[in-house]
Structure 1
Amino acid sequence: MTEQHLLTQRTARFYTIGLPSDAVTDLWLVCHGYGQLARYFLRHFAPLDNGRTVIVAPEAFSRFYLDGFSGRVGATWMTKEDRLAEIDDQAAYLNLLLQTQLQQLPAHVRVTIVGFSQGGATVSRWLASGAAPVHRLILWAASFPEDIDFTSGKAAFTNLPVAIVYGTQDEFITPESLLKKQQLMADLSINPRIYTFEGSHTLHAETLLKVGAEL
């Protein structure tokens, strides 16, 4: 048996808040976590809607029923199956999405990337390719992936402001996992700013605005 691959076109779905105009100063591209859908995830970023910001939420290609064979649907960026092809497809998807948005916006616009939970690993792998013009990275309740290519990926994070944000009651964040994440980032010469809030595995409007203003 021989495994083979065929490159095909896919229809990607994404949602936006804000309209492109000459007044826009900021573009946020925000990636959801496991089992979420982009239209619901994007609602958490409504506090950023100030007339000068466009927020774009891409949705992962793979959708599935969250419970059984019907009902609520979620999406996932990848599984362990055929993961290298999935990573390449994600990078192509996010690069194209970012390019199409930047073509509609002023040349000086600041680009902020947010990865929540599983979306954090997704955007980290994407940025490690070095192809995206990004000014800030926010990893929210997210693990920095251990499989980052340290040879080519290091340059992509050089001088890139990075924030790690998590809730103090987040069941997925332990002192051990946080220390491991920080060590991985140190290997890439990343010195992140760390923000916490009282809460669990979720976003937090007040903290979101604070990180956006300070990072």
Structure 2
Amino acid sequence: MSQKERLVSYTSTNSYLTLNELTSETQNIWIVFHGLGFLSRYFITYFNGLPPEKNYIIAPQAPSKYYLNNQYKHVGASWLTKEETVRETQNVLRYIDAVMEEEHLPSNKNLIVLGFSQGVSIATRWVASRKIKCEQLILYAGGIPNELTPTNFHFLKKHKTKITALIGNEDEYLDEDRLQKENEKLKMLFGEQAQQIIFDGKHEVKKELINNLVI
């Protein structure tokens, strides 16, 4: 007996969350990618301290949901795993394309892309593959995928995108070796365009840091 893996394509439906209203008074549009174990409806609450009349937030939802802590009570989600990463990445990117098509976003607003933890890998892959000309790219406590190169982000230099990496000084997922490698990757990809901010804290989202990003 032999087994053979086969592929099939099908239509899938997924949700996403928005916060505030997109109006003529809106100045900033945020696309925010949550981390492992989050749901978008909880993650988006970290952005409710931003002035609502000036900020419109879109939080895509990772497609793979699972029960947290083996208690079958609280649900989280994952963007990707090491299994079929390339194929699953394309599925995620097509989902984000559908979100953007649904939103019909105007081009005269400041576009801010933020990824937290695992969301950094999605944010950077999306920006690189779709050549998203954003005013800010915020990499919050997450790793940049190894396959990305400086060539993938040359267009951001021309666009004068502000790139900010936020890292907690007590982040339990970043030892000295990992931190050094991520710093080297940041410099290699973005050079002087990137700014690193070390804050007091662990692997956590801090609303005050987010609120200060658009001052």
Whether TM exceeds 0.5 here: the answer is yes
Flag the 1:167–1:151 CA change in 2: closer, same or farther, 3 A: closer
Are the counterparts in 2 of residues 138 and 163 from structure 1 also a CA contact under 8 Å?
yes
In structure 2, what is the equivalent of residue 25 of structure 1?
A: 27
Query: Could you tell me which amino acid in structure 1 is paired with residue 29 of structure 2?
Result: L
The structural deviation recorded for 1:30 is 0.6
Flag the 1:155–1:4 CA change in 2: closer, same or farther, 3 A: farther
Question: Cα RMSD over matched residues?
Answer: 1.9
Are the counterparts in 1 of residues 150 and 189 from structure 2 also a CA contact under 8 Å?
no
Taking the TM superposition and a 5 Å limit, the aligned residue runs for 1:174-185 are: 174-185=175-186
Flag the 1:156–1:5 CA change in 2: closer, same or farther, 3 A: farther
Query: Could you tell me which amino acid in structure 2 is paired with residue 201 of structure 1?
Result: H
Query: Could you tell me which amino acid in structure 1 is paired with residue 8 of structure 2?
Result: L
Query: Could you tell me which amino acid in structure 1 is paired with residue 137 of structure 2?
Result: L
The structural deviation recorded for 1:205 is 1.8
Q: Which runs of 5+ in 2 are unaligned?
A: none
Flag the 1:90–1:156 CA change in 2: closer, same or farther, 3 A: farther
Are the counterparts in 2 of residues 45 and 205 from structure 1 also a CA contact under 8 Å?
yes
Flag the 1:151–1:5 CA change in 2: closer, same or farther, 3 A: farther
Q: Which runs of 5+ in 1 are unaligned?
A: none
Query: Could you tell me which amino acid in structure 1 is paired with residue 82 of structure 2?
Result: K
Are the counterparts in 1 of residues 150 and 190 from structure 2 also a CA contact under 8 Å?
no
In structure 1, what is the equivalent of residue 210 of structure 2?
A: 208
Are the counterparts in 1 of residues 133 and 161 from structure 2 also a CA contact under 8 Å?
no
Q: Give the stretch that moved more between structures: 201-210 or 173-182.
A: 173-182
TM-score by structure 1 length? Answer: 0.89
In structure 1, what is the equivalent of residue 140 of structure 2?
A: 140
In structure 1, what is the equivalent of residue 89 of structure 2?
A: 87
Residue 108, structure 1, aligned to residue 108, structure 2 = yes
Query: Could you tell me which amino acid in structure 2 is paired with residue 145 of structure 1?
Result: P
Q: Give the stretch that moved more between structures: 173-182 or 81-90.
A: 173-182
Flag the 1:113–1:172 CA change in 2: closer, same or farther, 3 A: same
Moved over 6 A (4+): none
Query: Could you tell me which amino acid in structure 2 is paired with residue 185 of structure 1?
Result: L
Query: Could you tell me which amino acid in structure 2 is paired with residue 52 of structure 1?
Result: K
TM-score by structure 2 length? Answer: 0.89
Flag the 1:18–1:190 CA change in 2: closer, same or farther, 3 A: farther
Flag the 1:156–1:118 CA change in 2: closer, same or farther, 3 A: farther
